[in-house]
Amino acid sequence: MKIALMMENSQAGKNAVIFQQLNEVAEPLNHHVHNVGMSDENDHHLTYIHLGIMASILLNANAVDFVVSGCGTGQGAMMSLNAHPGVICGYCLEPSDAFLFNQINNGNAIAMAFAKGFGWAAELNARYIFEKAFTGPRGEGYPVERKEPQVRNAGILNQVKAATMKENYIDTLKAMDQDLVKTAVTGERFQKCLFENGQNPEIEAYVRSLLV
């Protein structure tokens, strides 16, 4: 699995801690982590709004399989990611959130709070969230006897979201403020992840057109 970690300006100083915890969980599982957001306060400036654009491009281009995002409370990142087609983002404050999201909703992104409640042993909480997010099977339901309706409802929700976003994906990107999109895609690590792993030439060509 290819995982993108993306953090915005308010919590960029915690990137090293989160990146380390995510890598320590991902590497033994043969997952690869792309650190595509801000790595410190002096890095390419991003807000949680940019994270939604970045996540949607990487997921729709099949450059990554899963996105780990967040902001101070996690709420802004969750809303930003869920505003885009092809992104199903859950809100995770503790390990049980990640486990239940995977089993019941089986989405492709999580949003974490990197300020609210980020106190003593916060790095352990992050690590345990990642363990529940990336270890074991997904979509098994919880409790297990509820698997059938939960899987069915998750599929219906995906269909509803697709039905409300009927435009061509490139058209949705072009309908946004292009300066906003350009800022989202200007980071070197983001571009490396997209251009080396992406499987959608149309999306890649659009992004390249913004960089000339």
How much is the mean pLDDT over the chain?
96
Asked whether residue 10 carries a pLDDT value surpassing 90, the answer given is yes
CATH 3.40.50.1980, applies to 2-210: no
Give residue limits of the domains in the chain: 2-210
Round to whole Å and give the CA distance between 158 and 105. Answer: 10
Find the mean pLDDT for residues 11-17.
Answer: 97
**Considering the entire predicted model, what is its pTM?**
0.94
Asked if 75 and 106 count as a contact pair (C-beta separation under 8 A), the reply is no
pLDDT tens-place string over residues 95-122: 999 999 999 999 999 999 999 999 999 9
pLDDT of residue 165: 81
- Checking if the pLDDT of 149 tops 80, the result is yes
Nearest CA to 46 out of 73, 78, 7, 15 is that of 7
Sheet holding 32-35, edge to edge: 32-35, 2-5, 66-71, 109-113, 89-92
pLDDT at 166 (0 to 100) = 74
pLDDT digits (tens, 9 = 90+) for 164-209: 787 799 999 999 999 999 999 999 999 999 999 999 999 999 999 9
